[in-house]
């Protein structure tokens, strides 16, 4: 029932007008957050939005074009460093972010070149190497501030005078995230987007149909990198600090996990994935021995067993078990990720009670 019956329906920005309305309402609500919430909520929402930008950008590459990247932390770092260094040199922040997008895109283009001949694990290892190299160069070069990273200038952009720095930064992040969603949605409605999808479905067939593989594959890398770069620039201001070691392989893997957990090849999927992974990152906590004593019936015995056989000082690590367990559960039960769950739920209610 989700079939699109006409070509023009496929070209619409929003499938249906209620959907468009809902999106406007959501956007308005997010824009109003700084009026009633404190710094903490703004920080969490900003963090989610930045991750969402990366996930959406990475999805262009992974979900729509069918490539893989274990090096997006590298683009994220390039964006962060470019923005910070330009802003320190006196370039206005919006301009610095745009420049960061172009610089990251240029590196994306370069990384896309080997991708022309490689796929699967081969591409994975090359992108992984790219991420490591970027992390290493930033951490080693005096010019980039060495192991401490460059100091981040205060976020001076004022979108709405009279409001605090955090509030203005929040609005800028939300604007950029909203812009990313629109831009990618639009991109996928164009000739370029259809070329990406054709490459994913079969690159040989796409080439036969006249899609220039060289151009479009590298372009997919560049587009993906550009959004990630802007997100990196915003992240530098969001954190107020740049540390080269945080742009590591684990970050790249988590970016990929956002896309896959959410569901590749959609807009909603990476958004859901970014929300899930971000909240897991920020909110997961370990347990305490007292928590185990709460278990009904055998609480005391379980706690006793645990304190005999496990490190009490290591109990914070239970969060990794929970984290990994959630990843495994989602992927085992729904290969399409959270987006797949959403589709299934929708279908269930639409045909209810059949």
Partner 1 sequence: MFQPLLRIAALAASVFAVALAPTAQAQQLTGVTDTEIHIAAWGPQTGPAAPWGAVTRGTAMLFQMVNDAGGIHGRKIVFHPFDDQYNPAKTVAGVKELVEKAPGIFAMASGVGTSPGLAVKDYLMERGIPWVGPAAGSLHWVTPPQKALFAMYPLYADEAKLLVRHLVDKEGKKKIAIFYASDEYGENGHRGAMAELTRLGLKPAVEVSVNQADRDLKSHLLKLKDSGADAVLMWVNPTHAVITLKTAAALQFSPQWATSSTLSDAVMMQAITGGLWKNMIYASFGELPDADVPQVKKYRDAFAKYAQQGERWGVFFMAGIGFVEPLVEGLQRAGRDLTRDSFIKAMESIKGYKGVMGRVTFGPGERQGQREIFLARTDDTGTKVTQLTPWAEVK
Partner 2 sequence: MDILGNLPQVLFSGLAAGSVYALVALAMVIIYRTTEVLNFAQGDMAMMSTYVGLGLLVAGGLPFFWAMLGALAFAAALGAFSEFAFLRRAKEPTVLGLIIITLGIEMIVFGFASWKWGGDPRDLPTPLSPADVVVIGGVIMSYLELATIAISATTISALFLFLNRSKAGLAMRATQQNRAVARLMGIRVRRVEMGAWALAAVIGGIAGLLVGPATTVEPYMMWDPMMKGFAAAVLGGMTSLAGAALGGAIIGIIENLFGFYVSTAFKSVVPFAAILLMLAIKPSGLLARHYVKKV
281 binds partner 1 (CB under 8 A): yes
- The structure tokens 């192991």 sit at 147
Q: Of the candidates 37, 326, 341, 343, which one interacts with partner 2 according to CB under 8 A?
A: 326
Q: Residue 293 binds which entry of partner 2, partner 1, none, with Cβ cut-offs from 5 to 8 Å by kind?
A: none
Neighbouring residues of 269: CB distance < 8 A, sequence distance ≥ 6: 59, 63, 259, 262, 263, 336, 337, 338, 339
What distance in Å separates the CA atoms of residue 87 and residue 212, rounded to the nearest whole number?
A: 37
What distance in Å separates the CA atoms of residue 337 and residue 329, rounded to the nearest whole number?
A: 10
304 binds partner 2 (CB under 8 A): no
- The structure tokens 């996930």 sit at 55
241 binds partner 2 (CB under 8 A): no
47 binds partner 1 (CB under 8 A): yes
122 binds partner 2 (CB under 8 A): yes
76-90: b (≥16 Cβ within 10 Å) or e: bbbbbbbbbbbbeee
Q: Of the candidates 197, 246, 268, 334, which one interacts with partner 1 according to CB under 8 A?
A: 246
156 binds partner 1 (CB under 8 A): no
What distance in Å separates the CA atoms of residue 113 and residue 214, rounded to the nearest whole number?
A: 8
161 binds partner 1 (CB under 8 A): no
Neighbouring residues of 163: CB distance < 8 A, sequence distance ≥ 6: 34
Q: Which long-range contacts (CB under 8 A, 24 or more apart) does 318-327 make?
A: 318/286, 318/287, 319/284, 319/285, 319/286, 322/284, 323/280, 323/284, 326/276, 326/280, 327/257, 327/261
Nearer to partner 1, 149 or 273 (CB): 149
260 binds partner 2 (CB under 8 A): yes
Contact call for residues 271 and 347 (beta carbons, < 8 A): no
Q: Of the candidates 48, 50, 55, 62, which one interacts with partner 2 according to CB under 8 A?
A: 62
Q: Residue 40 binds which entry of partner 1, partner 2, none, with Cβ cut-offs from 5 to 8 Å by kind?
A: partner 1
Q: Residue 161 binds which entry of partner 2, partner 1, none, with Cβ cut-offs from 5 to 8 Å by kind?
A: none
308 binds partner 2 (CB under 8 A): no
Residues 163-222 touching partner 1, rule: CB under 8 A, are: 163-164, 167
In order, the DSSP letters of 96-158 are: HHHHHHHHHHHHHHHHHHHHTT--HHHHHHHHHHHHHHHHHHHHH-GGGTGGG-PPPPP----
Nearer to partner 1, 2 or 142 (CB): 142
Contact call for residues 299 and 307 (beta carbons, < 8 A): no
Q: Of the candidates 33, 106, 110, 124, which one interacts with partner 2 according to CB under 8 A?
A: 124
Burial category of 12 from C-beta neighbours within 10 Å (exposed 0-12, middle 13-18, buried 19 and up): middle
245 binds partner 2 (CB under 8 A): no
Q: Residue 35 binds which entry of partner 2, partner 1, none, with Cβ cut-offs from 5 to 8 Å by kind?
A: partner 1
Question: Shortest approach of partner 2 to residue 292 CB, angstroms?
Answer: 12
Contact call for residues 196 and 184 (beta carbons, < 8 A): no
Query: Binding string, 299-318, against partner 1, x = CB under 8 A?
Result: --------x--xxxxx-xx-
- The structure tokens 């910070």 sit at 84
Which residues here bind partner 1, judged by CB under 8 A? Answer: 32, 34-40, 43-44, 47, 136, 139-140, 146-149, 154, 163-164, 167, 239-241, 243, 245-246, 281-282, 285-286, 307, 310-314, 316-317, 319-320
Q: Using CB under 8 A as the criterion, which residues of the chain lie in contact with partner 2 when the complex forms?
A: 62, 68, 114, 117-118, 120-122, 124-126, 128-130, 132-133, 136, 140, 202, 204-205, 249, 253, 256-257, 260-261, 264, 309-311, 313-315, 317-328, 331-335, 337
């Amino acid at each position: 029932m989700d079939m699109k019956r006409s070509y023009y329906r496929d070209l619409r920005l929003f499938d249906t007008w209620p959907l468009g309305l809902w999106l406007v309402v959501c956007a308005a609500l997010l824009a109003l957050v700084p009026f009633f919430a404190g710094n903490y909520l703004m920080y969490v929402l900003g963090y989610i939005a930045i991750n969402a930008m990366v996930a959406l950008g990475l999805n262009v590459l992974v979900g729509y074009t069918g490539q893989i990247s274990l090096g997006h932390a590298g683009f994220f770092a390039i964006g962060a460093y470019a923005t910070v260094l330009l802003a320190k040199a006196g370039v206005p922040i919006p301009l610095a972010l745009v420049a960061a997008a172009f610089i990251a895109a240029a590196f994306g283009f370069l990384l896309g070149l080997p991708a022309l001949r490689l796929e699967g694990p081969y591409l994975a290892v090359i992108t992984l190497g790219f991420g490591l190299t970027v992390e290493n160069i930033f951490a080693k070069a005096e010019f980039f501030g060495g192991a401490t990273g460059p100091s981040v200038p205060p976020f001076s952009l004022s979108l709405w005078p009279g409001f605090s720095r955090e509030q203005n930064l929040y609005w800028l992040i939300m604007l950029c995230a909203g812009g990313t969603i629109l831009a990618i949605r639009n991109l996928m409605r164009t000739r370029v987007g259809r070329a990406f999808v054709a490459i994913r479905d079969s690159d040989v067939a796409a080439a036969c149909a006249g899609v220039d593989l060289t151009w479009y594959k590298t372009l997919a890398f560049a587009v993906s990198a550009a959004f990630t770069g802007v997100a990196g620039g915003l992240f530098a201001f969001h954190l107020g600090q740049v540390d080269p070691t945080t742009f590591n392989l684990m970050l790249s893997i988590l970016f990929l996990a956002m896309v896959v957990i959410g569901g590749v090849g959609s807009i909603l999927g990476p958004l859901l994935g970014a929300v899930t992974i971000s909240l897991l990152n920020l909110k997961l906590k370990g347990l305490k021995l007292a928590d185990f004593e709460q278990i009904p019936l055998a609480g005391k015995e379980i706690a006793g067993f645990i304190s005999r056989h496990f490190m009490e000082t290591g109990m914070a690590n239970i969060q990794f078990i929970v984290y990994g367990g959630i990843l495994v559960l989602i992927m085992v039960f729904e290969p399409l990720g959270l987006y797949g769950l959403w589709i299934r739920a929708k279908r269930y209610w639409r045909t209810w009670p059949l």
